[in-house]
């Protein structure tokens, strides 16, 4: 499928410059999101002295604790792991949250299990994403014997237009823009308050504090992306997942390995040739694959094009404990480190030691 003959470009970027950029990025990521409330990440080796000094400057500020419900936590069921984290951030001790999608599952092709019906029926609140991402949940909810309200988290969120079938309401990957996530958080908080009005104070305080963390995250990412030379701010991704990220932070999407918003599509030989031509023409430094998708085609394309492959970008799901992407804030930070690392020309994690510097990156 992929052309066998293609000249490899000279790999650019010097290690010393790239190393300084990654250290600067790590500093920004640590200091810019100091308010992030997350579980302490699993250590991944010994950090260099400079990273330890940076870490000493960080004083995380947890979200307001809130008050637990006397009758026990409210059962909240979400369709995705990202929504589950947002609900936990808002609800705190007043909620018990479960995601129908497991870690690293792809929302585009998930098939609900019979046990999912029982999970939904036991929920006090069900949170879906909408915009065609979790359309599989519609029949699941319709067939469940339940009275719980169903809230669509993306209600009222402005979207980027899409002409692709099944996504007439816009590109569903809105979580790659923290300012849009702030709206989603407000929607979730309103739904929890409607079911549990006694918790209004907790939900409101935690929502406001978390929205401040999202603002800090947004500023942090902007600063980080600015460390990339403008001519290298170009992305080739596994599928069309990063349009909001690119739009928000000034990157250009040159192309995707899988055409479209749905990971189940397959590229034609002509589309692959066109992508390889675009990578060479635009001097794209790397191809970004996803932890929740098979990276083999992306790996083959990267090899043919002579560019770096970043195989573990988190796009559709949070990561396991120790991945650095256990929460939404962590997902955005680790993805940003990976993007800046690759686009500045520093591709070796061992050389960059970015895991130790950033503090909560993937192992």
Q: What is the pLDDT of residues 341-352, one digit of tens each?
A: 899 876 543 333
241, two tokens: 């997942």
Reply yes or no on whether the pLDDT at 223 is more than 70: yes
Among 130-134, 220-224, 235-239, which stretch is predicted with the lowest mean pLDDT? 235-239
Among 55-59, 88-92, 137-141, which stretch is predicted with the lowest mean pLDDT? 55-59
Q: What is the 3-state secondary structure (H, E, C) of 297-310?
A: HHHHHHHHHCCEEE
Among 8-22, 86-100, 107-121, which stretch is predicted with the lowest mean pLDDT? 8-22
Q: What is the pLDDT of residues 265-292, one digit of tens each?
A: 677 788 888 889 989 999 999 999 887 6
334, two tokens: 């680790």
Q: What is the phi/psi pair of residue 273, to 5°?
A: -60, -40
**Which DSSP string corresponds to 153-187?**
TTTT-------STT-TT--S-GGGSHHHHHHHHHH
More confident call, 60 vs 288: 288
CB 70 within 8 A of CB 172: no
User: What average pLDDT does this structure show over 250-267?
Assistant: 75
In the CATH hierarchy, which fold is given to the domain comprising 15-58+229-358? Rossmann fold (3.40.50)
Reference 184, options 239, 244, 144, 232; nearest CA is: 244
Residue 57 has a pLDDT of: 30
Rounded Cα–Cα distance for residues 91 and 72 (Å): 13
Residue 5 has a pLDDT of: 41
Domain at 74-221: CATH architecture: 3-Layer(aba) Sandwich (3.40)
Residue 47 has a pLDDT of: 30
Confidence of residue 1 (pLDDT cuts 50, 70, 90): very low
**Which DSSP string corresponds to 246-257?**
HHHHT-EEEEES
Domain ranges of the chain: 15-58+229-358, 74-221
Q: What is the pLDDT of residues 196-218, one digit of tens each?
A: 999 999 999 999 999 999 999 99
**Is it true that 15-58+229-358 and 74-221 share their CATH fold?**
yes
């Amino acid at each position: 499928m992929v052309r066998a003959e293609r000249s490899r470009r000279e790999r650019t970027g010097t290690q010393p410059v790239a190393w300084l950029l990654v250290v600067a990025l790590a500093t920004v990521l640590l200091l810019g999101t100091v308010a992030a409330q997350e579980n302490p990440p699993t250590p991944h080796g010994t950090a260099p002295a400079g990273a330890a000094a940076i870490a000493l400057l960080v004083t995380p500020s947890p979200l307001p604790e809130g008050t637990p419900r006397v009758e026990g936590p409210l059962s909240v069921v979400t369709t995705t792991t990202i929504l589950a984290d947002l609900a936990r951030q808002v609800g705190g001790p007043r909620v018990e949250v479960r995601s129908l999608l497991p870690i690293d599952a792809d929302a585009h092709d998930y098939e609900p299990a019979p046990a999912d019906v029982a999970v939904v029926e036991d929920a006090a609140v069900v949170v879906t994403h909408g915009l065609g991402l979790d359309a599989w949940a519609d029949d699941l909810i319709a067939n469940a014997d339940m009275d719980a309200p169903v809230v669509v988290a993306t209600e009222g969120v402005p979207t980027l237009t899409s002409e692709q079938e099944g996504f007439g309401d816009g590109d569903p990957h809105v979580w790659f823009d923290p300012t849009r996530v702030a709206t989603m958080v407000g929607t979730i908080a309103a739904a929890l308050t409607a079911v549990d009005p006694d918790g209004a104070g907790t939900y409101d305080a935690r929502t406001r504090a978390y929205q401040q963390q999202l603002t800090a995250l947004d500023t942090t990412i902007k600063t980080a992306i600015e460390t990339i030379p403008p001519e290298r701010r170009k992305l080739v991704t596994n599928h069309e997942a990063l349009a909001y990220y690119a739009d928000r932070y000034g990157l250009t999407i040159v192309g995707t390995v899988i055409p479209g918003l749905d990971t189940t599509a397959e590229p034609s030989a002509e589309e692959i040739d066109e992508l390889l031509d675009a990578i060479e023409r635009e001097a794209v430094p790397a191809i970004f694959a996803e932890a929740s998708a098979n990276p083999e085609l992306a790996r083959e394309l990267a090899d043919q094009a002579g560019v770096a492959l970043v195989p573990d970008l988190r796009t559709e799901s949070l990561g396991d404990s120790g991945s650095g992407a256990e929460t939404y804030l962590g997902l955005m930070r680790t993805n940003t480190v990976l993007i800046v690392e690759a686009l500045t020309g520093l591709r070796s994690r061992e050389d960059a030691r970015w895991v130790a510097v950033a503090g909560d990156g993937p192992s």
